[in-house]
Structure 1
């Protein structure tokens, strides 16, 4: 399949990053979100990112303008256009919401269109079951921040075709990413390893083993992590971390994946991390 146009459904932090990366690869990108204000914020985030790259000499003004000109807002109904070859879903990590979106996309998208999910933990097979084209449904899990991180986890559902998998791998390479195929298990590989580490760091704080600063410093200085696990959780979003831990706990049935009560408490309080202005640390908004 020769792709020209990509729709990104979901204009939050991940969706905006995917849209920017796709535009940098030369694609025409349509950015959709059911909240128009989120699209406006997403476009602003992209423009700010591009301007930062221009300021440090990584892009010229001409390149910045060209990339940004390839991204425009879209209505979901536009996905029915024959020009739409590929849709990447990047909404919140909620199985019901994702399944409903996939059902809608399946009904309106042209028959050849591939439906990919940027889910960080949910079963691709179950999302594919919401459609009548399970062979064209696949997981395409980008890392955050998308324009910087090289990895894309490629996850096939039970019915995903070889053609769809190869299309996604080629797309990832064109977007200057390295595709790594993993199996359709809860959390895949990245979050099955990362999230329990973050959850254990939260337990350390919860049980009073050390201060948040000390926990982060140990992992930065002792393990050479670029940022501590509690800071990383704030950047990911504590609600996202909790959702992934709940998927791991429910899907694998092992008590070692039980979300820390402190993580639940912070999410209930609306302390979601950097995006809300407060998580384990406080941030200016």
Structure 2
């Protein structure tokens, strides 16, 4: 199978990240089908994509007819059997290993082509474990996108124990057609980027816990002292990522040691419903 923009491409999971992946591919000229068990999830996701494209059109990034062409490339389905003709499936559901393995077993049974790529957009979970749920682990790899996907330039390709060189190369070709740069990581919790980010975030939380500095001090220090575009607390608030990053850090602490264990105060923020900017309360109040 040759990787071109004419491949039969499916994104499994119509949540925030999944639909962001759909938008990125459609903007680059791919026809892409969003699959989810919920029609409401897909409708909500499509509405968000249209709103995003309207804003870009208002800013002169697209003409109105280009926006309509992009939306016209997006298809939708709630039928898992539609995956049968897939060349590439990108799974983008919540970071739950049991759910991902279940979906990859179903995917393996549905997708007919043995050359098809079965890719998971996980930020921390074992690619080898996900691949073990299939009869073709050599065709499974991680394809970790960064949010918002249409804007962020990096895709992290993750190689499981059984992932073939051919699968890695095809995943990289796919990312290049999406106008992304790639890095390749071995199968380790958090891979490269999130291992660095989460270590930074947890250390920032410890600095607050110890009274060494406030969240605002830390964010300002990272921006003006190290040249980061955002501090760690601003970043997680902007992405509504407090629940996700804590979930991932708990997993990483189990695998890599207590240095990734979140302090109690930040876990209490999540319990209080402070998830980030969309809730008006995260690390900061809005």
Alignment of 1:190-201 (within 5 A): 190-201=193-204
- How far has the Cα of 1:275 moved from its partner? 4.1
Question: Residue 202 of structure 1 aligns with which residue?
Answer: 205
Q: In the TM superposition, what is the alpha-carbon distance from 1:107 to its structure 2 partner?
A: 1.5
Identify which range, 240-249 or 204-213, moves more after superposition: 204-213
User: Structure 1 residue 71: deviation in Å?
Assistant: 0.8
C-alpha separation in 2, matches of 1:222 and 1:145: 25
Range moving further from structure 2, 166-175 or 36-45: 36-45
- 8 Å CA contact 1:191, 1:244 repeated in 2: no
Aligned residue for 1:89?
A: 91
Shift of 1:225: 1.3
Equivalent position of 1:105 in the other structure: 107
Query: Among residues 155, 174, 180, which one is paired with 1:177 in the alignment?
Result: 180
Matched ranges for 1:22-61 at <5 A: 22-61=25-64
Partner SS for 1:81: helix
- Cα distance change, pair 35–263 in 1 and its aligned pair in 2 (3 A): farther
Query: Aligned residue for 2:122?
Result: 119
Distance verdict in 2 for CA 1:98–1:277, change over 3 Å: farther
- Post-superposition shift, 1:19? 0.4
2:159 corresponds, among 153, 156, 159, to: 156
Out of 45-54 and 173-182, give the one that drifted further: 45-54
For the pair 1:266 / 2:269, whether they are aligned, the reply is yes
The equivalent of 1:5 in structure 2 is 8
- Once the 2 structures are TM-superposed, how far is the Cα of residue 122 of structure 1 from its aligned partner? 0.6
- Pairing partner for 2:136 from 122, 128, 133: 133
| Distance in 1 (alpha carbons) for counterparts of 2:147 and 2:242 | 14
Structure 1 residue ranges (4+ consecutive) displaced by more than 4 angstroms after TM superposition: none
TM-aligned CA distance change 1:126 to 1:21, over 3 Å: same
Once residues 205 and 138 of structure 2 are traced to their aligned partners in structure 1, the CA distance between those partners, rounded to angstroms, is 39
Equivalent-residue separation in structure 2 for 1:33 and 1:75 (angstroms): 5
Q: Structure 1 235/67 Cα, relative in aligned 2: closer, same or farther at 3 Å?
A: same
Distance of 1:18 and 1:142 partners within structure 2: 8
Match of 1:220 in 2: 223
Tell whether the 8 Å contact from 2:10 to 2:83 is kept in structure 1 after alignment: no
Provide structure 2 residue ranges, at least 5 long, that are not aligned to the other structure.
Answer: none
CA contact (8 A) 2:56 2:62 kept: yes
The number of aligned residues is 281
RMSD: 1.6
Distance between the aligned counterparts of 1:279 and 1:69, measured in 2? 36
Give the gaps of 5 or more residues in structure 1: none
What residue number does 1:75 align with?
78
Q: Would you say the 8 A contact 1:220–1:226 is kept in 2?
A: yes
How far is 1:276 from its partner? 3.7
Q: Please tell me whether the aligned partners of residues 205 and 262 of structure 2 are also in contact (alpha carbons under 8 angstroms).
A: no
Deviation at 1:235, TM superposition (A): 2.9
- The residue matched to 1:244 in structure 2 has which SS? helix
TM-score, structure 1 as length reference: 0.93
Tell me, yes or no, if the aligned pair for 2:219 and 2:230 is still in contact at 8 Å: yes
TM-fit CA distance, 1:106:
1.3
Deviation at 1:210, TM superposition (A): 2.7
